[in-house]
């Protein structure tokens, strides 16, 4: 089975001088139902540590609001990546040319039924 990626949107964040793209996927993953929808929530960050570009992937088992933000060590929000409704399935955000300085950050994915935080290490 092959997986076809479709660009849902491309957003240019002028304030941070970077671009990121959001992808939806109609297949793949190991924990799926017959319709390729994840059974459980998940978030994955690759590569980590990263120099500039990174990919944040997440899966949601039902349509719902998704909020994905990046925070610094003090808990201050430094990037708002997603704040919208997503269909059930697999989604990928590609971050290009990250303008944040080297350091440790946290990506927090929040939905109606899920709240998880992952550590991000940026090395410039």
What is the rounded end-to-end Cα distance, in angstroms, of the chain?
A: 37
What are the tokens at 36?
Answer: 């390729």
Predicted pLDDT of residue 1: 31
| Residue-averaged pLDDT of the chain | 78
Predicted pLDDT of residue 95: 84
Predicted pLDDT of residue 35: 63
Per-residue b or e along 6-24, where b marks 16 or more CB atoms closer than 10 Å to that residue's CB:
eeeeeeeeeeeebebbbbb
Confidence of residue 124 (pLDDT cuts 50, 70, 90): confident
Q: Does domain 5-122 have CATH number 2.60.40.1930?
A: yes
Instruction: Give yes or no for residue 72 having a pLDDT over 70.
Output: yes
Predicted pLDDT of residue 100: 86
What is the average per-residue pLDDT within 77-82? 94
Predicted pLDDT of residue 3: 35
Confidence of residue 64 (pLDDT cuts 50, 70, 90): very high
What is the average per-residue pLDDT within 15-22? 42
What are the tokens at 33?
Answer: 């139902």
Instruction: Give yes or no for residue 82 having a pLDDT over 90.
Output: yes
Closest to 41 (Cα-Cα) out of 102, 120, 113: 113
Asked if the peptide bond before residue 47 counts as cis, ω within 30 degrees of 0, the response is yes
Alpha-carbon gap, residue 79 to 82, rounded angstroms: 9
| Statement: the pTM of the whole predicted model exceeds 0.85 | no
Predicted pLDDT of residue 97: 65
Predicted pLDDT of residue 20: 46
């Amino acid at each position: 089975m092959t997986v076809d990626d479709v660009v849902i949107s491309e957003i240019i964040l002028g304030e941070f001088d970077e671009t990121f793209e959001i992808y939806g996927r109609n297949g793949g993953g190991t924990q799926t139902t017959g319709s390729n929808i994840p059974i459980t929530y998940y978030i994955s960050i690759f590569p980590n540590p990263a120099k500039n570009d990174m990919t944040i992937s997440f899966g949601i088992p039902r349509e719902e609001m998704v909020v994905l933000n990046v925070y610094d060590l003090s808990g201050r929000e430094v990037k708002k990546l997603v704040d919208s409704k997503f269909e059930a399935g697999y989604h990928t955000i590609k971050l290009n040319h990250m303008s944040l300085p080297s350091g440790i950050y946290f990506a927090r994915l929040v939905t109606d039924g899920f709240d998880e935080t992952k550590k991000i290490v940026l090395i410039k």
